[in-house]
Amino acid sequence: MRTQNGESVLARVVRIFEAFTPEDLALTVSEISRRTGLHVATASRLVAELVSYGFLTRDADRRVLMGMRMWELATRASPSLSMRNAAMPFMEGVHDVVGHHVQLGVLDGDEVLFLERMTAPGAVINYTRIAGRLPLHASSSGLVLLAHGPAELLRRVLDGALERYTPNTPATAGRLRAVLAEVRRQGYAYCPGYVHPDALGVAAPVRDARGQVVAALAVIVPNEAGATSVVPVVRTAARGVSRALGAPDAPARRREPGDPRDGSATAV
């Protein structure tokens, strides 16, 4: 069924779901109406129907939230579930070592989407959340995915606006290309203060059975001296996840004197 302007009911339902953000988990019908551009009566009718199916729910104040039925179906059919299950034991081990943030991200469109995240009380600032997104050029996970992504992805990113979060963010085409070349060369991304001056991200690639990079395992730790000690921890865990996904073992790289890397991954 389509409206007079040709928009399908399904398209309007999608707009309702997209009105919710990580910051706005509960909305009134009026807020949904404003964000979607739907008439309030139309929004109210569609919300009521979605509530009846369990895709949306209401709290005690009659605000609208995502329903458990939506979570159930999305989780049951998620192609990322096996990756998350493979990664969790290794993420838990890394978290025990670093005591800050550990996260798993995948490429979705032109952003990195985070499937899982572990943190701790008092951990360094981190803008990541489960089901949250960050731009590829600024985050350690995003840089790993961009470095191993197709050429057309890089062209799209370079053609877009490269937001500068801090003076360290690679926000010019030349700087971003240089950072990506270094990620490929050394086999991981090392990003001191790219998103916040106090935080440092380290990410390594996760590969599937074909040897393709399908995710990035990352830690966010304080941006201070000695942070290079987490690099071998992250790389070892990423290789463990890759092996759990059936990836072939990569040959070891030669270590240079004073190189903090553990030298066991091959850059693409």
pLDDT of residue 207: 96
pLDDT at residue 163, as a whole number: 95
Task: State the pLDDT at residue 3.
Answer: 56
Q: How many CB atoms neighbour CB 59 within 10 A?
A: 10
- The pLDDT, as a whole number, for residue 267 is 30
**Domain boundaries, given as residue ranges, for the chain:** 9-68, 78-244
pTM: 0.76
CATH class belonging to 9-68: mainly alpha
How far, in Å, are 14, 24, 54, 85 from residue 203 at the CA level? Answer: 33, 29, 37, 19
Q: What architecture is the 78-244 domain classified under in CATH? A: 2-Layer Sandwich (3.30)
| Residue from 99, 102, 113, 90 nearest 239 by CA | 90
pLDDT at position 254, please? Answer: 38
At 4 the pLDDT is 56
Residues of the chain with pLDDT under 70: 1-5, 77-79, 250-268
Please report the sign of the dihedral spanned by the C-alpha atoms of residue 20, residue 24, residue 26, residue 28.
negative
Q: What is the pLDDT of residue 256?
A: 34
